Amino acid sequence: MAPRIEVAAHAGVCYGVERALGLAEKAAGTAPAPVRTLGPLIHNPLVVAELADRGVTLAESLDGADAGSVVIRAHGVVPEVIEDARARGLSVIDATCPYVKRVHAAAERLVSQGFQLIVVGEGGHPEVEGIMGHADGRARVVSRPGDLDGIELERRVGVVVQTTQTLDALDAVVTELLRRADEVHVVNTICSATQERQAAARELAARADVMVVVGGRNSGNTRRLAQICAESGTATHHIESADELRAAWFTGAALIGVTAGASTPAAHIERAVAAIERLSGASDGTR
């Protein structure tokens, strides 16, 4: 009997990414040229290459964008970057995800209320760096409870979280903070789309014989999906392109599960599913 393919109930591009892509594609035809994204628009190398083919190229910093327009990526930036871009005479298209802007607002509010800010997330991640820029120098980043050991905590601590983190990671840090601080004010800024994708991936991985996770390896939310699937005990393969798929992965599988990160367009998922069908002789049970 041929195996069956099932795509997770929630998988692939989220609203913030879809909005950012739409703004970048529109800018390619309407904004002052040349049009560049300030850093990768989203964490998906294939999409970044596709944008370049449409005339939206990449600048790693404002020094690489001496004229024309810059598109602020979905992860956001520190406020000074936008001010600097405008001071240089550049046209600014702000594609920051609205959910990320919600984190910025929460960080500013907590700091203004006198809380020491803890950001639960990946140090050095562009989104986290942007959040830090809205905290008036009063924020520290932690990814796990042990990271708190090197921080001198104040009496009142506020917490926000990178939008693509897991609830488990947030819960673990907050539980430890409650042991150490007198007052802990938590704003759960995990994006609802992230939570939906993680729950759907976990549910499908529990039933599948093998999982394929589609999306950029530099995408934190995609890596977390792969981690969630692997932790279920199911053989899990994280790919960026359908070309990476191997027939041997599907030998003996009855159900092949597919999920994808929030920076993965539907067309990329469809290409992966079609390739799995060819390699495994499977039928796509989701169509």
Which residues belong to the active site? 127
The string of DSSP codes covering 217-248 is TT-HHHHHHHHHHHHTT-EEEEESSGGG--GG
Which residues are paired to 6 by β-bridges? 257
**Ramachandran region, residue 233 (left: φ > 0; alpha: ψ -120 to 50; beta: rest):** left
**CA–CA dist 233, 205 (Å, integer):** 8
Length of the chain: 287
Q: What b-and-e string marks burial along 172-196, b requiring 16 or more CB atoms within 10 Å of the CB?
A: bbbebbeeebeebbbeebbbebbbb
- What tokens were used for 208? 């599948």
Which residues are paired to 258 by β-bridges? 7, 212
Max Cα distance, the chain (Å): 64
CA 53, distance to chain mean position in Å, is: 23
**Which residues are within 8 A (CB) of 181 and not within 5 positions of it... i.e. 6 or more apart?**
153, 154, 155, 156, 157
**CA–CA dist 287, 267 (Å, integer):** 14
